[in-house]
Amino acid sequence: MSRRIFSVLVLSAAFTGHAAGNVITNPSFESGLVPWSLGSVNPGAVFSLENAFGFTGSRSVFFGAASQLQPIILSQDLAAPLVNGGAYELSFWVHNYGIDNDSLAISMIEVLPNNNELHQAIVPPGIVGTALESWSQVVIPFVANANSNRIQISGFDNSAAFYLDEFSLVAIPAPGAGATIAAAGLLATRRRRRA
């Protein structure tokens, strides 16, 4: 009996964490920019893949000298679309370089067959309040309001620059999912014992 209870408790614990892996490919840019796409860069903007500076590994992406009206846009089609109504967690690391006025906007986008798009702002345009000259993690839980299949990152910083690294977008089980599965496991154990 102790073995059966232990296996149910392990199953319950497994469902209190993240249920699925990261749906962002090449999240820390160690393989370059593939499959990321870069677009809408104004002539004065500075964007680069940094080869000797990263939170993990040796690479990150650098945003600088872009305006809010013409931000640097980095996007990626996801390995698997989000589920409308599903709970998710987006996290990434940001490093402020210079004056603390870096700004981000991050959206999840469902690209529809007619090329229309449904946008969900995960990080509305604005200042990201992180420490200067050090890496800080930003973690944002959210509920998807569409079957989004693309992440879009818009960055701008008029007088300084910032780096981004180690993106993660994972599904989070609904609260109580572990308890429900554990209860079902105990019920199955009881049924086996009676048979």
Share of the chain above pLDDT 70, in %: 66
CA proximity to 172, closest of 75, 83, 76: 83
The secondary structure of the chain, three-state, reads CHHHHHHHHHHHHHCCCCCCCCCCCCCCCCCCCCCCEEECCCCCCEEEEECCCCCCCCCEEEEECCCCCCCEEEEEECCCCCCCCCEEEEEEEEEEECCCCCEEEEEEEEECCCCCEEEEEEEEEEECCCCECCEEEEEEEEECCCCCCEEEEEEECCCCEEEEEEEEEEEECCCCHHHHHHHHHHHHHHHHHHC
pTM: 0.74
58-89 per-position pLDDT tens digit: 999 988 765 666 778 899 999 999 999 999 99
Query: For residues 33 and 47, is the Cβ–Cβ distance under 8 A?
Result: no
Q: What is the CATH number of domain 19-172?
A: 2.60.120.260
Q: Look at strands 60-64 and 72-77 and give their pairing.
A: unpaired
Mean pLDDT over 167-190 rounds to: 60
CA proximity to 69, closest of 105, 110, 108: 105
34-51 per-position pLDDT tens digit: 999 987 666 667 788 888
Domain spans, the chain: 1-17+176-195, 19-172
Please tell me the total number of residues recorded for the chain in this structure: 195
Mean pLDDT over 7-25 rounds to: 51
